[in-house]
Structure 1
Amino acid sequence: MVTAPVSVVVVVSAVGAGILARRVDPRLLLGAGGVLTTIGYGIGAEFHHTAGQIVSWGLISGIGMGMVISSVPILIISAVSPQEQALGNGAQNMVQGTAQVVISQLVFVLMAKDGKVMHGTQFYSDSGFSTGFRLVSGCCAAGALLVLLIPKAKKLDEVEAGQTAS
């Protein structure tokens, strides 16, 4: 229930960024999304003790996540030929999924380092949560910086979309 508003914000932000991508360079949307997620999780490293705090910084990172989620496929579609668009987005999806799994596991390893196991259940310390959020924030910051390496692609209105297989 606490993170439900964040999920709604992610969807609304993704739709909004998708619409904006016709007027604004999607690299800017991707970079801004990376900055917002960095800020949101950075705040979360210090303020994660109440539902209100989690929702507050979650809304910031949620806007950023929506911008990232919608910008990446647009950039791929504008950079590859119509015949390779499905392959490009499929490859991106696999890399993104793998990165999410690896980072999630690293977060839980860091959280468990200072935690305690009682009666077979892992309990995490406050410092463990802070460290985990800092790692995620750092990864988001690295992603935001990597946006600077993305070459300018065609405008979305100039992109030729591939056909689905019959």
Structure 2
Amino acid sequence: MSKAIIRLGPRHKKSLYAGFALLWLSGALWLAFHYFLRMDGEFGPEAHPLEAWWLRLHGLMAMLALALAGSLAPNHIRLAWNRRRNHRSGLPMLALTIWLAATGYALYYFSSDDNAAWLPPLHWIAGLALPLLLGLHIRRGRRRALPRVNQPQHPQQRHVAAPSYNPPARIKASS
């Protein structure tokens, strides 16, 4: 029996990349609209009308990202942990994901004037750093990965990944 592969499948990888990219983009756009694209109103600066929509999309993508992050636990995280592979970037990646989930939860349920000065930056500074740490984790993982054995190089050859079976020659019974 061959070893299970730590690498993500193509659809899983695309789902993760798309989910986390939309999460990051919606958060970055909310920051831009909240801090830099305010509109002049009758009584001074007002929130841009799209600001609330970016925040709503960010909340939706956060739920999806948590599900996607959870999908890594059974194979990717568990196998890498057991084989002691890529811990130097994997553990900080896992810690950052937990941190972002915890601070996002705190922002939603415990936001107040008392913590408005320090709680939001704890979330968005870590969130802005996510692509850097993810890129480092991916690069280190690819560099340290074991060579693919019996893996086709061309995507259309995936159905022939296993080596062909050649049964042993029949041995004639002696009389």
Q: Establish whether TM, by shorter chain, passes 0.5.
A: no
More helix by share: 1
Question: Smaller-chain TM-score range?
Answer: 0.3 to 0.5
- Of structures 1 and 2, the one scoring higher in RCO (CA 8 A, sep 6+) is 1
TM-score, structure 2 normalization: 0.38
